[in-house]
Amino acid sequence: PILVGWSYGAMLAVHWAARNPDRVLGVVSVDGALPHSWLDEATKVQVRKLFRRLSPLFPVARRIGMAARMSAEQHAEINIEVNELCAPAALDPVFDRLTVPTKYVLATGGNLGGDPKLMEKIRANLTPVTARNPHIQLSAKVPSNHSKILRKDFRAVADAAREIGR
């Protein structure tokens, strides 16, 4: 299969492909699995506060497939954990083990709780990774933000999968 993952799912897809290169044709990472180290204790507090504030929306978001069956607190802790796994010390060895075609489709601007300037800085961290590993390439940078990328720029995601399938 070609693994396609968005946000947290991109991190899962990249890790799985690095561990199982003989069981996957390639990976499409949709605005996720990007190296960064911006997470500190103050940011963790902000993340928890944001998810607490959003907690009334989770029951509705679950029904439309935009949230998992977890509490707001659990969502916050998973968000923190996945961002800790994006630290270069944790993610760079995964990138170095990737031997299957890995295409990135990146959003533009901010995301829920993410400052647009910070998000663009994080996305720029992919450049040294693509220079180091020829299997990892930027397929497209699209005008949608993180939350709307699958709805508005699904064609770019499909094109990235087709690039792998050729």
The per-residue pLDDT for 67 is: 79
Cβ–Cβ < 8 Å for 106, 140? yes
Residue 114: the pLDDT is 73
**What is the reported pLDDT for 128?**
96
Global pTM value: 0.89
Domains of the chain: 1-36+90-166 (3.40.50.1820), 38-85 (no CATH)
Task: Give the closest residue to 125 by CA, choosing from 143, 111, 104, 146.
Answer: 104
Cα distances (Å, whole numbers) of residue 70 to 32, 43, 119: 20, 21, 25
**What residues are paired with 157 via a beta bridge?**
none
Residue reference for tokens 């995964």: 94
> Could you state, in chain order, the average pLDDT of each consecutive group of 10 residues for the chain (166 residues)?
94 97 98 89 91 91 83 92 92 97 94 82 95 98 92 97 93
